[in-house]
Amino acid sequence: MTTSISSNGSESQNRQQSLTAVSSEEAAVIERIKRRAQARKLRAAQKLAAQVQIGSDGTKTFIRFSSRQRLEHQVLLITFSTLALTGMLQHYSAMSPVAWVINTVFGGVETLRTLHHLAALIFILEAIYHLGIILTVWFVHREKGGMWPRWRDLTDIIQMMKYNAGLAGERPLFDRFSAEEKIEYWALLWGSVIMIVTGLIQWFPTWVTMALPGQIIPVSRAIHGWEAILATLSILIWHMYHTIVKEKNKSIFNGLMSEQEMEENHPLEYRRIMAATNYLQQIVAEQEAQAPVGKKEETTVTMDGEHELA
């Protein structure tokens, strides 16, 4: 009997020790998860706060576009303009004034086609590059990106229409990209696919007609021409009005936007950036308060860098 009681006591003690060990392991796992979540929050906050530049007079300037994004836009600007000009001249080459321009300025239609094909090749390469960026955002960073449509965009469009008609007193609060910018962006993507496909069909008609009926050539020529006209008018009327006449927005060229412009055009992103900046400043202040006097400066430098997030 004594042996049985002793054995039961040992088993109970071992069970209790096992439960304690499991609880300790779970607590350690939970703590690691919390630290990783905190690190992700810090990385996100530092990424947002890095968009703010504060001048010597305290003026805040916001980095709207990176150098890579600006370069991508300038390449798109040059290639699109070249394609529109050389394409329209070919499309209306039967008109005497247009024929005179082709022969006098460009030295003939063959030179015009060569320029058009060269610009098209660069345009296609840029489209492939941009597709790589989209896939990286979706599948590597596992984010939808700022241009991804949301239900809020629909309500923003309705609110903006009411505001423009004088039926609403306030504009909708836009995030990094407005509903108008998203519409234009996705129209550009879809239009690029149409132009590239129909353009390649006309560029290599012999290969295409080996697999598809010959009627595909005139059909693609018609689609290519009308889509080109639509895209050109969209850029001249919609895009240039919004960026040059309405807003006078130079951020795609210099990458910067003033605090007033951010508050007016992208208030939700502005608030998020400022909240991230305040969050980091609060962390630095807490660490400085806890650190010894001689190490306060070192603590501030660590938090300003990314070593703490590694």
| Average of per-residue pLDDT across 47-72 | 92
Specify the range with the lowest mean pLDDT, choosing from 68-72, 108-112, 190-194, 285-289: 285-289
pLDDT confidence tier of residue 267, bands split at 50, 70 and 90 = very high
Mean pLDDT of the chain: 86
What does the alpha-carbon distance between residue 232 and residue 220 come to, in Å, rounded to a whole number? 18
Q: Max alpha carbon distance in the chain (Å)?
A: 117
Confidence of residue 13 (pLDDT cuts 50, 70, 90): low
Banded pLDDT at 27 (limits 50, 70, 90): confident
Percent of the chain with pLDDT over 70: 86
List of E strands, 136-266: 256-258
For the segment 67-87, what is each residue's pLDDT rounded down to a tens digit?
A: 999 999 999 999 999 999 999
Residue 12 confidence (pLDDT): 60
Tell me: pLDDT of 188 over 70: yes
Query: What angle, rounded to 10 degrees, do the helices at 179-203 and 109-135 form?
Result: 130
pLDDT at 251 over 90: yes
Q: Is the pTM of this model over 0.85?
A: no
The terminus-to-terminus CA distance of the chain in angstroms comes to 59
Is residue 129's pLDDT more than 60?
yes
Nearest CA-CA partner of 206 in 219, 194, 216: 216
Q: How far apart are CA 273 and CA 71, in angstroms?
A: 24
pLDDT at site 301: 37
Predicted pLDDT at 30: 76
Average pLDDT (52-74) is 93
Per-residue pLDDT at 37: 79
State residue 302's pLDDT score: 42
Average pLDDT over residues 16-28: 62
Q: Between 125 and 303, where is the model more confident?
A: 125
